[in-house]
Chains A and B, each alone.
Chain A
Amino acid sequence: MTDAHDTARPSIFPGAIALALVTVYVIALLHAESQNTILTLLGVGAVAVTVAHWLGWLVPVARSFQARDDALALLAIVAALVVAVYFREDHFVLLLLCTVLLYTVATLGLNVQFGYAGVLNFAGASFFGIGAYTAAVLTQHTAVPHVLILLAGGIMAALIGSLLLLPVLRTRGHYAAVITIAFALLFKTFLEVNDILGGPQGLQVKAMSLFGWSFNDNIEIGGFEASFYFSYFAASLAILVIAFALVRRLERSWIGLNLDALRLDETAALCFGLNIVRWKVTAFLFGNVLIGVAGALYGMLVGFVQPNSFTFADSLIFVSILLLGGIGNPWGVVAATIIVVIVPEKLQAIQEYRFLLYALLVMAVLLFRPEGLLPRPVRNYLPGWRP
């Protein structure tokens, strides 16, 4: 029997080398202080990626990520830890890294909703905020263990999300998107006029503590000293790893297939027995749980929540991360969050024009590379599966 699948499994090395280069690059970028150095670095990065693309060097990278992404995911965890250990005493950088990790978790949730099920959610920041406000209320008024509070943030986001689902399921396409926009605007107004939730001033969130160990103490273990943000970094990374693994498993299952089927052709999906409502609800709530958990930890991280942190504009940031990274590809979400969160923070000149630049970036992506920086590959139920 002739079999087309007798070629060797792609090597892990192109992916590992790319990962190492990105790690060094991110460290350099975070380390740079002067605006000129940062601009140069950004230029070098853009040129390097473009040249590598022309030379065809990105193809083996993509292939090894597709076939070996279980091993590469472990390496990515190591890479994240390397960056964090390198900056262990730098509050600002660690805070930035935590933000990257938690935004990635939230956008992964959005990716399940929009990338897989095709349900556009323009209220991502609102659900992120629901997680954060849940953390604020529960840390202030109850003695619930903080791990459970993170879960509660996710569950609250899912519960309030199910209210939004009723009208969303009755409408299609753009109309459903408009409903989520309306919700985002209503949510912010609701917070502003609600005295119990602190009104426009917002609420304080107590620091996370895990098994009696407060996250707001600096770390001193043996010779290892680190900023208190290092604990948050570890917690954020743990949540990201769990979220990433869950989203990966979801995609590589019959459920992921169901979501693709109903997004691509609802009528055909119906004719093959799919319960459209059940799977849309599953995807929406699954996504909201991720967004809410990320929001709860984010609230504890920054110690303070207010309506202005969770506006419609912030929801657009989540959506633009998803569009930039590559809809449906979790690796793309990771890469895009690094760019969208870190670049404006480092490049102070553009901070005020952040949203303008996001808008331009999204337009450029939609025009020239509509599938995003890292397009989603065809589903593989096992990494490197060659039956």
Chain B
Amino acid sequence: MTAGTVESQAGTAAPHATATPLLTAHGLTKRFGGVAALDDLDLNVQRGEILGLIGPNGSGKTTFFNVVTAIYGADAGRILFDDADISRSTPPAVYHAGISRTFQRSRLSLPLSIFDNVMIGNHKRLNQSLWFNLVRRGAFIAECEANFAEARALVKSFDAPLADRMLEPVAGLPMIDRRRIEICRALISRPKLLLLDEPSAGMTQDETKQLMENILGIRERMAGLTIVIVEHEMAVIERITDRCVVLNFGRKIAEGTFAGIAADRQVQEAYLGLQ
């Protein structure tokens, strides 16, 4: 059906064009009652690309993230990540496999410090044994300090002043800093795939611009990181994505570069209601 489009895009998108896609969805379906939020969706994410996922409200973008991260189980279809089937997985297993995400409505732990919030994302790299945490305090403090330095450097690469406030609660920070911390929380464990769910929501245009520069900066520093971004702000999509997939009613209606899909009649119909 749309296989031809995929082929034509492969060259521009992925540095490792010969390798299998990092993430593949085959016939992915998720129903809520009678509504199909995802309807037989086929989607590939190539290694190393920034893929924009766009579509009108309710077209299934966030549901796709929630199914990939196993918050919802799929009703039908398969998801392959790094050549392993993760269709019947659990959220912790998906995280351990190397997928991290942010949330549409920022889900930080507000009373906790910036450092604490970033460390929540580092769960799989921290020693979780009772004995280590309660008894071997010297070793724990060493691990804690090493992680602090790493978290601080990561936050600093987003915003230098923010890195001096690592032990302050997140509750007092403006939205852009919260988004930055959420992205740091997702990145600290060095995932292979980062899912960004509307990072510009609730921010001014200037803030959005800054954050996009941050995201492009990450890609330069973390070689091989693959990003899928859900976004309504078309300027953002145009600026940072290599390739876009357009969803409508849970189906893929177009795929290609931003310029390509912007000219697509079906996309214009879905967004603008053109007849």
Q: Which residues of A contact B (CB under 8 A)?
A: 2-5, 246, 249-250, 253-255, 257-258, 260-261, 264-265, 267-275, 282, 378-382, 385, 387
Q: Does B153 contact A (CB under 8 A)?
A: no
A54–B176 alpha-carbon span in the complex (Å) = 35
Decide: A2 and B164 in contact? CB cutoff 8 A.
yes
CB < 8 Å: which of B109, B140, B189 contacts A253?
B140
A309–B167 alpha-carbon span in the complex (Å) = 44
Decide: B91 and A378 in contact? CB cutoff 8 A.
no
Q: Mark B105-129, 1 if CB is under 8 A from A, else 0.
A: 0011111110010011101101110
Decide: B116 and A254 in contact? CB cutoff 8 A.
no
Q: Mark B160-201, 1 if CB is under 8 A from A, else 0.
A: 000011111100000000000000010001000000000000
CB < 8 Å: which of B124, B148, B168, B185 contacts A387?
B148
Q: Mark B135-167, 1 if CB is under 8 A from A, else 0.
A: 001001100110011001000000000001111
Given contacts A250-B134, A264-B111, A379-B113, 15 further A-B contacts (CB under 8 A): A4-B164, A4-B165, A255-B134, A264-B109, A264-B112, A265-B109, A270-B91, A271-B95, A272-B189, A273-B91, A273-B124, A282-B130, A381-B141, A382-B141, A387-B166
**Chain B interface, number of residues (Cβ within 8 angstroms):** 46
| Interface-central residue, B119, B120, B128, B141, by most chain A CB under 10 Å | B120
Whole-angstrom distance between the Cβ of A290 and the nearest chain B Cβ: 13
**Chain A residues in 8 Å Cβ range of B141:** 381-382
A253–B69 alpha-carbon span in the complex (Å) = 27
A273–B144 alpha-carbon span in the complex (Å) = 19
Shortest Cβ-Cβ A-B pairs, 4 listed? A253-B133, A270-B91, A264-B109, A273-B95
A282–B144 alpha-carbon span in the complex (Å) = 21
CB < 8 Å: which of A2, A265, A271 contacts B101?
A271
CB < 8 Å: which of B100, B107, B108, B137 contacts A249?
B137
**Chain B residues in 8 Å Cβ range of A2:** 164
| Interface-central residue, A4, A255, A261, A268, by most chain B CB under 10 Å | A268
A264–B145 alpha-carbon span in the complex (Å) = 24
A257–B116 alpha-carbon span in the complex (Å) = 7
Q: Does B235 contact A (CB under 8 A)?
A: no
A351–B168 alpha-carbon span in the complex (Å) = 43
Decide: A271 and B167 in contact? CB cutoff 8 A.
no
CB < 8 Å: which of A250, A265, A272 contacts B95?
A272
Chain B 58-95 interface residues, beta-carbon cutoff 8 Å to A: 69, 71, 90-92, 94-95
**Chain B residues in 8 Å Cβ range of A257:** 112, 116, 119-120
CB < 8 Å: which of A246, A254, A269, A275 contacts B127?
A254
A258–B148 alpha-carbon span in the complex (Å) = 17
Decide: A261 and B92 in contact? CB cutoff 8 A.
no
Closest to A256 in B: B133
A207–B95 alpha-carbon span in the complex (Å) = 53
